[in-house]
């Protein structure tokens, strides 16, 4: 073999290697695209269900809650208050920017830790920046049990008398 033939062979080997590399790269890209498409297709088969807590729930028997009591229901983000007028359910979510308030038993106020709003136990704003009282929620008596519906907001003067 002469020098030109040797050079041509070396070039052919390099070409073949580059071709193989590009073929492997192309195969990898197609495989990745196929895998992505397959995953998307399989995910499409499963429904996008949002599991949320039910909006209606039982709190308990009215006779078990003495007058002058505020019951904190942290999971449902609800306060249940019994005063001399009756029962009131209200959201624990602050009307300013939606932080979760907490009841301070020692001061008998509902306090928002985010910006310092305070609410009376009937939900009225004691000091801002909260612009509105805590909304009252639907409260009914069903089969002797108090039932709150967090999906239904009622007027501020709604009180359940038992």
**Tokens, residue 115:** 């910006």
Which residues are within 8 A (CB) of 86 and not within 5 positions of it... i.e. 6 or more apart? 159, 160, 161, 162
Measured from the CB atom, is 130 or 148 closer to ligand FES?
130
Task: Supply the minimum distance, in Å, between the C-beta of residue 115 and ligand FES.
Answer: 3
**Smallest separation, CB 108 to ligand FES (Å):** 18
CB-nearer residue toward ligand FES: 25 or 97: 97
Q: Distances from the Cα of 53 to the Cαs of 77, 92, 128, in angstroms?
A: 11, 16, 30
Q: State the residues that interact with ligand FES by CB under 6 A.
A: 94, 96-97, 99, 112, 114-115, 117, 129-130
109 vs 114 by CB, closer to ligand FES = 114
Q: In angstroms, rounded to a whole number, what is the distance separating the alpha carbons of residues 124 and 8?
A: 91
């Amino acid at each position: 073999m002469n020098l030109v033939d040797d050079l041509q062979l070396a070039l052919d080997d390099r070409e073949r290697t580059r071709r193989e590399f590009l073929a492997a790269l192309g195969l990898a890209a197609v495989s990745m695209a196929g895998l992505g498409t397959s995953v998307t297709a399989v995910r499409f088969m499963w429904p996008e269900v949002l599991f949320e807590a039910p909006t209606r729930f039982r709190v308990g028997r009215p006779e078990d809650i003495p007058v002058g009591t505020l019951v904190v229901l942290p999971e449902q983000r609800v306060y249940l208050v019994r005063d001399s007028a009756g029962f009131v359910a209200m959201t624990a979510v602050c009307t300013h920017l939606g932080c979760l308030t907490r009841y301070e038993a020692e001061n008998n106020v509902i306090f928002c830790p985010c910006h310092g709003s305070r609410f009376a136990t009937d939900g009225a704003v004691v000091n801002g920046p909260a612009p509105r009282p805590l909304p009252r929620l639907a409260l009914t008596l069903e089969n002797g049990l108090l039932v709150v519906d967090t999906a239904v907001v009622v007027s501020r003067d709604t009180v359940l008398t038992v």
